[in-house]
Amino acid sequence: MKGKQKKGMVRDYILLGLVFVIAILLITFFPDKKDEVINASWNFLVEMLWILPAVMILLGLFTVFVPKKTVVKYLGKASGIKGVSLAILFGALPTGPLYVAFPIAASLLKKGASISNIVIFLSAWACIKIPQEMVELQFLGAKFMFTRLALTIIFVVIMGIFIEKLIAKEEDVSLIPTKCP
Amino acid sequence: MSITAAVINGIAILALLIAFFKDKEKAIQSLKIAGKSFIKIIPMVFIVIIIIGLLLGFVPPDAISKFVGSQSGLSGVLLIGVAGAIMHVPSIVAFPLSASLLESGASITAVAAFITTLTMIGFVTLPLEIKALGKKMAFLRNGTSFIIAILIAILMGMIL
């Protein structure tokens, strides 16, 4: 994993170099656009730097203070509305890219957590992260952020229940002979 | 500094203070993780910042609004939704990119579709998801996510 991460970093820097060279070339050929480009980039950079350290600190805190074991322990047996709320909360609190959540989801599956909770947990992890919402708030405004957040929560819950029903139905049909004692 | 940035920084400082008060070692560990993540995301931030500059400087707003603006209709939304599903960039840098798209003529619907598919659907990480959860659940989750992303986007466009 470490080597893979290093490779990713190298790839990012190569990409950055490439984008930088393209930008320099474009500005050299079209000098009248220079001010506009630099202004736009500068404004977004400043806006980003004002919040990035704070977002990273929150990300670090959540990672350390909400250990994965806790997530599995509580979500493994929770059900009903409590299960749904916990799935959203535990998805939204700890941080890291989505692939970090897959092993957690896999152990939840093994522990017998409901399919809907696992799907809701994964989706919350993917798109209801608190630090992420803060960046959304900064760049797209409160109205956009809160509307999208509310809609996302509603639809993610519906999706979780839908997928659970779908999988349960299929298993009823295909697994009856093996499932019955 | 905007109010939003001030609030976010305030929350971070407060949380950090509480963390130090509760468990100094864990708090230091959190800061280390924060530093590492910061260094890791910096090149991506600069890439997106440069792209935003070029986008706002060179691409005329009518070109953007033609593809993903309000006149483009459902096809524009689907197009940017697919782009979001395939792209593999940290969601944190997706927001400034989305803001610049909005600024240059993209519709709210298109931008909401982009953000939602980008965060919810992992095309690149699909093999990992299949390994962890099995083919059926992985495909169902990603497929349904695309449909609800488009639904969320359409509703966003209607509400805002």
In chain A, the percentage of residues whose pLDDT exceeds 90 is: 45
Is pLDDT of A178 > 60?
Answer: no
Is pLDDT of A176 > 60?
Answer: no
Residue B132: how many CB atoms within 10 A of its CB?
21
- Chain B CB contacts of A93 below 8 Å: none
Digit-coded pLDDT (tens) for B119-158: 999 888 898 899 888 899 999 999 999 999 999 999 999 9
Question: Side-chain half-sphere of B116: how many Cα atoms within 13 Å?
Answer: 35
Q: What is the pLDDT of residue A4?
A: 66
Q: What is the pLDDT of residue A174?
A: 55
**A-chain residue closest to B124, CA distance:** A99
d(CA A162, CA A12): 38
Digit-coded pLDDT (tens) for B18-68: 999 999 999 999 999 999 989 988 998 999 999 999 988 888 888 888 888
CA proximity to A139, closest of B31, B103, B79: B103
A72 interface with B at CB cutoff 8 Å: no
B104 — pLDDT class (breaks 50, 70, 90): confident
A181 — pLDDT class (breaks 50, 70, 90): very low
A179 — pLDDT class (breaks 50, 70, 90): very low
Residue type, A81: I
Is pLDDT of A24 > 90?
Answer: yes
Q: What is the pLDDT of residue B1?
A: 66
Q: What is the pLDDT of residue A2?
A: 56
Digit-coded pLDDT (tens) for B56-82: 888 888 888 888 887 778 888 999 999
Sign of the torsion formed by the C-alpha atoms of B113, B119, B125 and B127: negative
d(CA B139, CA A95): 23
A138 interface with B at CB cutoff 8 Å: yes
Structure-block tokens of residue A132: 């992420």
Report CA B98 to chain centroid distance, whole Å. 8
Q: What is the pLDDT of residue A3?
A: 66
Is pLDDT of B108 > 90?
Answer: yes
**A-chain residue closest to B129, CA distance:** A102
d(CA A100, CA A157): 21
Is pLDDT of A26 > 90?
Answer: yes
Q: How far is A112 from chain B (nearest CA, A)?
A: 13
Q: What is the pLDDT of residue B123?
A: 84
Is pLDDT of A83 > 50?
Answer: yes
Is pLDDT of A170 > 90?
Answer: no
A148 — pLDDT class (breaks 50, 70, 90): very high
Distances (CA, A) of A8 to A1, B86, B160: 10, 17, 38
**A-chain residue closest to B30, CA distance:** A60
Distances (CA, A) of B57 to A16, A25, B10, B74, B79: 18, 14, 34, 27, 23
Q: How far is B70 from chain A (nearest CA, A)?
A: 17
Q: How far is B26 from chain A (nearest CA, A)?
A: 7
A25 interface with B at CB cutoff 8 Å: no
- Chain A CB contacts of B20 below 8 Å: none
Q: Among A41-50, A158-167, B83-92, which stretch is predicted with the lowest mean pLDDT?
A: B83-92
Is pLDDT of A180 > 50?
Answer: no
**B-chain residue closest to A44, CA distance:** B49
